[in-house]
Amino acid sequence: MLPDPPVLSVKDLRVAFGSVEAVHGLSFDIHRGETLALVGESGSGKSATALSILRLIEREGGRITGGSIRLGGEAPAEITELAPAALRAIRGDRIAMVFQEPMTSLNPVMTIGAQLGETIALHRGLRGRAARAAACAALERVRIPEPDQRLGQYPHELSGGLRQRVMIAMALICEPDVLIADEPTTALDVTTQAEILALIAGLQRDLGMAVLFITHDLGVVSEIADRVVVLKDGDLVEEGRKADLFAAPKSDYARELLAATPRLGDGSPAPLAGAETVLEVRDVVTTYGGGGFFSRRAPVTAVRGVSLTLGRGETLGLVGESGCGKSSLARTVMRLVDPASGEIDLLGTRIDSLDAAALKPHRARIQMVFQDPYAALNPRMAIRDLVTEPAYLHDMVAPAGRDAMARDLLERVGLPADAAERFPHQFSGGQRQRICIARALSVRPQIIVADEAVSALDVSNARRVTDLMARIQREEGVSFLFISHDIAVVERVSHRIAVMYKGEIVEQGETSQVLHAPRHAYTRRLLAAVPRADIAPTAGPQVPGGNNALEGRRVPVVTPL
């Protein structure tokens, strides 16, 4: 459909780590001005492919075992055969990359200006005043306010969104033919994500580069891609135009992936009528710091007078951006931090002022599942001990009975019973989150607080975990406080929703009501930023405040050449 030759052509690419092959003969082309999305779950080989194109895979311990990667354009090159010096000349100049973590991809001890200047000096030979002007222009291009001032700042002085803009500015500074974006928005809030997606799309129109966009999120794909390549376990399972994929997926896997992707407006559980209250939070305020004798910092208030109730067998979804205080609220409810004021009523007992000894029996009634299943399990303990630890601490199981109990719990969350013998590192993220749930279930709690419990998981794993939670709720009447920044997931699981913003709950009510008729401006903004995983023929990436805000400011691009 595009007559010109591809700017990047990958043929029968094979990548191996040690003796394990991660990519088995992958082929695709990208043309000028086109966005190709490489979609797959973790372990599908999508990052290995991206790193292979820059030949960075060798640093990660992998190697290209076969196939070709051909860079087209005015000076064609076969990347798999290039010498290191020629490779360095291409990296950053003709092919640039934006990484997932904007925090760790920038050097913390170098100013933004110095880091941008490095790339310009390497590829364009510009130094001093000229380099500074070019860096300034690059920041302007990614619409960073006050670019001149930013040049002297260090990465930690910028927000996550601004840092990702700097990364993009750095990648685009030499106007590459191909931009590889490896999950560039995964670490960001929905509203920031929408801004970055709009920025990349706009820049692509201006510069006419090809974009290889790597993501696991079909919502993001629907926002940005022209064509899609779906990967599974290192094999290409489907390739086609975005509209075709969303309208009529050809492969089973793509269908599965689409089904697992939460879509806003897919419906939510009907609200429960007259459920008995199991948890009531009244006017809770949580502050950090400021307590020490020598501490001169003013205390930071994370939760400002929050009240909510949770009924038996109900799921209350708590939505908000990172830093809005939703995790602090969860930690306060769990009594991991003490509230500065307010009351927490758990099954008829005020637990906000109990001391550690008096609190212990109540801990069995409310359990927590953490965001990061990698960090929430002690790496040196066997699964048997981890899963039964809460029950053991509450004397609900004799030491001799722990093995049987662990097997039973693991079976209930859909893991093989012999998993009890193994250790956390031997499981995948989704399996570990199941282990965390099994651990919570060991004390038969009435309430489970799930703090971003599926945020670190792939869509299909997330789907399985939320389905598991729903089953547990059906079978045992457990109530969930489900905390997430992903409003679509929250919709799928929650009877009611509370929206949190800057430490306060700005809106609360039945899920369908809040999502269909949002009353608060912040809720509306949050909803507008959610990527829709479907074919939206006219709507490009939505930016809070409207697309025009960005479209109107087309920055004149001054190329330092």
Partner 1 sequence: MASLADPILRRRKSRKGQGADFIQKIAMVLAVLLVGAAIFAPLLTPFDPLQQSLLARLRPPLGFERYAAGHIAGTDELGRDVLSRSLYGLRLTLALAFAGAVIGLVIGGLLGLVAGLRRGWAEDVIMSLVDMQIAIPFTLVALLVLALMGSSLTVLIFVLGIAGWEQYARIVRGEVRRIAAQPYLEAARTAGAGPFYTAWRHVLPNLVSPLVVQFTLALSNIVILESTLSFLGLGVQPPQPSLGSMVGLGRDYMPTAPWIVLTPAALIVALTFTVQILGDWLRDRADVRLRER
Among 270, 336, 521, 539, binds partner 1 (CB under 8 A): 336
> Does 297 engage in binding with partner 1 (CB under 8 A)?
no
- Of the residues 384, 407, 439, 496, which one makes contact with partner 1 according to CB under 8 A: 439
Per-residue HEC secondary structure of 350-377 comes to ECCCCCHHHHHHHHCCEEEECCCCCCCC
Identify the CA nearest to 535 among candidates 251, 249, 252: 249
Among candidates 432, 418, 413, 428, which has minimal Cα distance to 384? 418
Q: CA of 167: how far to CAs of 68, 79, 134, 139, 482, in Å?
A: 28, 23, 15, 10, 33
Which pair of tokens denotes residue 164? 């990702």
Closest approach, Cβ 20 to partner 1, in A, equals: 11
Residue 225: closest CA among 212, 209, 208, 238: 212
Pair type for strands 349-350 and 341-346: antiparallel
- Determine the distance from the C-alpha atom of residue 512 to the mean position of all C-alpha atoms in its chain, rounded to a whole number: 24
Q: Does 368 sit near partner 1 (CB under 8 A)?
A: yes
Residue closer to partner 1 by CB (options 170, 278) is: 278
Residue 363 binds to partner 1 (criterion: CB under 8 A): yes
370 binds partner 1 (CB under 8 A): yes
The yes or no reply on residue 104 touching partner 1 (CB under 8 A) is no
Q: How far is the CB of 354 from partner 1 (least distance, A)?
A: 13
Residue 423 C-beta: closest distance to partner 1, Å: 5
Nearest to 73 by CA among 209, 216, 262: 209
**Pairing, β 77-78 against β 62-71:** antiparallel
271 binds partner 1 (CB under 8 A): no
The angle that helices 429-441 and 402-412 make with each other, rounded to 10 degrees, is 120
Q: Is 310 in the site for partner 1 (CB under 8 A)?
A: no
| Of 80-88, 156-164, 356-364, 536-544: span binding partner 1 (CB under 8 A) | 356-364
Q: How far is the CB of 475 from partner 1 (least distance, A)?
A: 22
Instruction: Provide the minimum distance between the beta carbon of 147 and partner 1 in the complex, in angstroms, as a whole number.
Output: 34
Stretch that binds partner 1, among 73-81, 193-201, 269-277, 378-386 (CB under 8 A): 378-386
Q: For the purposes of burial, counting CB atoms within 10 Å of the CB of 204, is it exposed (0-12), middle (13-18) or buried (19 or more)? A: buried
The H or E element that residue 523 is part of is helix 521-529
Show the site string, 384-423: x = touches partner 1 by CB under 8 A, - = not: -----xx--xx----------------------------x
Does 379 bind partner 1 (CB under 8 A)? Our answer is yes
Size of the site for partner 1 (CB under 8 A): 34
- 42 near partner 1, judged by CB under 8 A: yes
* Single residue of 1, 109, 356, 561 touching partner 1 by CB under 8 A: 356
Which two three-digit tokens encode residue 136?
A: 């300034």
Q: Whole-angstrom Cα distance, residue 450 to residue 330? A: 9
Q: Residue 104 corresponds to which tokens in the numbers above?
A: 């760790």
Q: Which is closer to partner 1, CB of 181 or CB of 391?
A: 391
Find the part of the chain contacting partner 1 (CB under 8 A) among 134-142, 283-291, 364-372, 480-488: 364-372
List contacts with partner 1 (CB under 8 A).
42-43, 61, 331, 334, 336, 356, 360, 363-364, 367-368, 370-372, 374-382, 389-390, 393-394, 423, 425-426, 436, 439, 443
